[in-house]
Amino acid sequence: MSTAVADARPAAATDEPARRTPDWWRVAAAPAVAALIAGAILPSGRKLWTDEYVTAYAAQLSWTELFRLLRNIDLVHALYYFVMHLWVDVFGVSEIALRAPSVIAMAVAAGTLAVLGRRLAGTPTGVLAGVLFAVVPAVSRYAQEARSYAWVSALVLLSTLGLTSAVRDPRRRRWVLYGAGLVALTYLHFVALLVVPAHAVLVWYRRRSTGRAFLVTVGIAAVLAAPMAWFAKGQDDQVSWIGRDEAKVAGYPTELFGSHAVAWAVMIAGAYGAVALWQNRSRIVPFLLVWALLPPLVSYAVYPAMHIFLAKYALYTLPAWVLLAAAAIVVPLDRPGPRLLRYRRFALPAAVLVVLALGWPAQVQYRDGDTLGEPDYHAAAAYVRTQLRAGDAIAYSAPAGRANGRLPFAYELRTAGSHPHEVFQKTSGAAVGSYGGIACTDPAKCVGSTERMWVVAVDAPADDPLHDFPEAQRTYLTGEFSVAGTQRFRRLQVALLLRHPEVEG
């Protein structure tokens, strides 16, 4: 270990709150429980949506199939898929099982934020920030989603907390843990590494003598993370749809916080909190501002070289905002007169109630089945399940550039007594490392002697469920089958096709 690092070991930052504070678990308990309530206990009618069906698909692949998939697509989610593979082997693939890791991750994030806030700005600020974080609508939304964004938030917070530990007590194992967190972030979602400049600011302002250890740790982590960056670069076409127009910029705060009212309330309070903190804990203000602002700004600036200007990619910046907002409530009451001291016990719960009230319409909306405007695959598959017969086939269609119902129906019909054979898929996605597989080019050969076929058509015209099939398939189906019935659901329709009876003579 370098002399500079060793010499820095016993010192403590001059603006560090007193260490005689409650045990970390007592500080973390209330925010973690609040996040659990918001994410798991409050009822939700929202079913899985397209990206969650992708998670279910990837998690159920064999290891060989999963590695084959990641060579072609979604390498940026590699660590998440690996862990979910292990998880579903134990707990299964029900909606609850798929979403439970995200609920747990958000609870960990809220609790960790409270501990981090205590370390940076005192116990009241930390606890209030953790609870405010738990009741932000976007937090409970992604706690109820089987994707990696809750994990990213938790890991960013754990890494940041680990950095503060290493800065205060720069033993080698603390830097190793911090570096491991950065590597894990890379393989979980590399965009989260935009938090590293904020970490550099934290080191600069709190203990510059640990700068060398920080740079060495980040350098080693970068080397270990380089393979991910190199191979993922070849898959950037999968996010080419992410734009940067004026509408996206204007809607970014609402998307980030999950509520327009909550976004502006927290950001305005955060600006005031930065001013309040500057008076007595100025060293943490630049760190929090860089954490909150730099990732979205960089995401905007690097377009079109990189398509990462998406609010959920910056979900991990919310803790910085709520820490600043909490400081706006707590810091002015830190050293009040006797009269203000009496109001402190009411100010903290009042702040939580205000955010909860402002965000309640969004909380209700996110628990509605039509939150994202996604096709209602759950209801459609339930309808098909009641009508299935042995030997039935199925085919899927969607307009160009949109996902069809293949993965959702595979998930929703996984427990059906008989599973319809997909006639227009020559080779499965698992076999070729994709989500779609290889399509059949000879409709007559692929359909064979099938008598009954289900067509699942996303966003097709009401009177034409075959509208988005390739011309050869559409022509064959029109000539050989007739539509016996159609059932419409949100953004999709299910049609039953029966083969024309043979004409004798």
Q: DSSP string spanning 81-140?
A: HHHHHHHHHHH-SSHHHHHHHHHHHHHHHHHHHHHHHHHHH-HHHHHHHHHHHHHSHHHH
Spatial contact of 157 and 115, defined as CB atoms under 8 Å apart: no
- Domain boundaries in the chain? 24-366, 377-499
- Going by pLDDT thresholds of 50, 70 and 90, the confidence category of residue 44 is low
Tokens of 118: 């205590």
What is the pTM assigned to this prediction? 0.90
Q: Which tops the pLDDT comparison, 402 or 83?
A: 83
Q: What is the structure's pLDDT at 368?
A: 76
CB 147 within 8 A of CB 102: yes
Cα(261)–Cα(57) distance, rounded to whole angstroms?
36
pLDDT at 13 (0 to 100): 40
Predicted local confidence at residue 369, as pLDDT? 65
Mean pLDDT of all residues in 386-401: 92
**pLDDT score of 9:** 39
- Letter for the amino acid at 32? A
Give 19's pLDDT tier (boundaries 50, 70, 90): very low
For the cut 80, the answer to whether the pLDDT of residue 389 exceeds it is yes
Condensed to tens digits (0 to 9), the pLDDT of residues 217-234 reads: 999 999 998 888 777 776
Statement: residue 280 has pLDDT above 90? no
10 or 343, which is more confident? 343
For the CA atoms of 186, 189, 190, 191, the dihedral, rounded to the nearest 10 degrees, stands at: -150
Bridge-based pairing state of the strands 452-458 and 393-397: parallel
pLDDT greater than 50 at residue 425:
yes
| pLDDT > 90? residue 40 | no
Q: Count the neighbouring beta carbons within 10 Å of the beta carbon of residue 479.
A: 10
Least confident of 25-29, 198-202, 258-262: 25-29
Helices (H) and strands (E) in the chain, counts: 22, 7
Q: How confident is the model at residue 371 (pLDDT cuts 50, 70, 90)?
A: low
Whether residue 206 contacts residue 13, with contact meaning beta carbons closer than 8 Å, is answered with: yes
Is residue 430 scored above 60 in pLDDT?
yes
**Is there a contact between 30 and 24 (Cβ–Cβ < 8 Å)?**
no
Average pLDDT of span 24-30: 90
% of the chain surpassing 90 pLDDT:
71
| Arithmetic mean of pLDDT, 458-465 | 92
Predicted local distance difference test score (pLDDT) of residue 306? 84
Residue 343 has pLDDT above 80, yes or no: no
User: Does the pLDDT at position 1 exceed 50?
Assistant: no
Four-CA torsion 21, 25, 31, 33, nearest 10 degrees: -150
Task: Average the pLDDT over each of 117-121, 137-141, 278-282, 283-287 and give the range with the smallest value.
Answer: 278-282
Peptide bond into 304 cis (omega under 30): yes
Query: Which residue has better confidence, 45 or 470?
Result: 470
* For range 131-136, the mean pLDDT: 97
Average of per-residue pLDDT values in the chain: 89
Q: How confident is the model at residue 8 (pLDDT cuts 50, 70, 90)?
A: very low
The answer to whether residue 215 scores a pLDDT higher than 70 is yes
Tell me the pLDDT tens digit for each residue of 403-419: 899 999 999 999 877 78
pLDDT value at residue 5: 39
End-to-end alpha-carbon separation of the chain, Å? 93
pLDDT at 367: 82
pLDDT range class, residue 4, cuts 50, 70, 90: very low
Residue 307 confidence (pLDDT) above 60? yes
> Where does 233-301 have alpha helices with state H?
246-257, 260-280, 285-301
Task: Give tens-digit pLDDT for 439-453.
Answer: 988 999 999 999 999
| Maximum average pLDDT range among 145-159, 275-289, 489-503 | 145-159
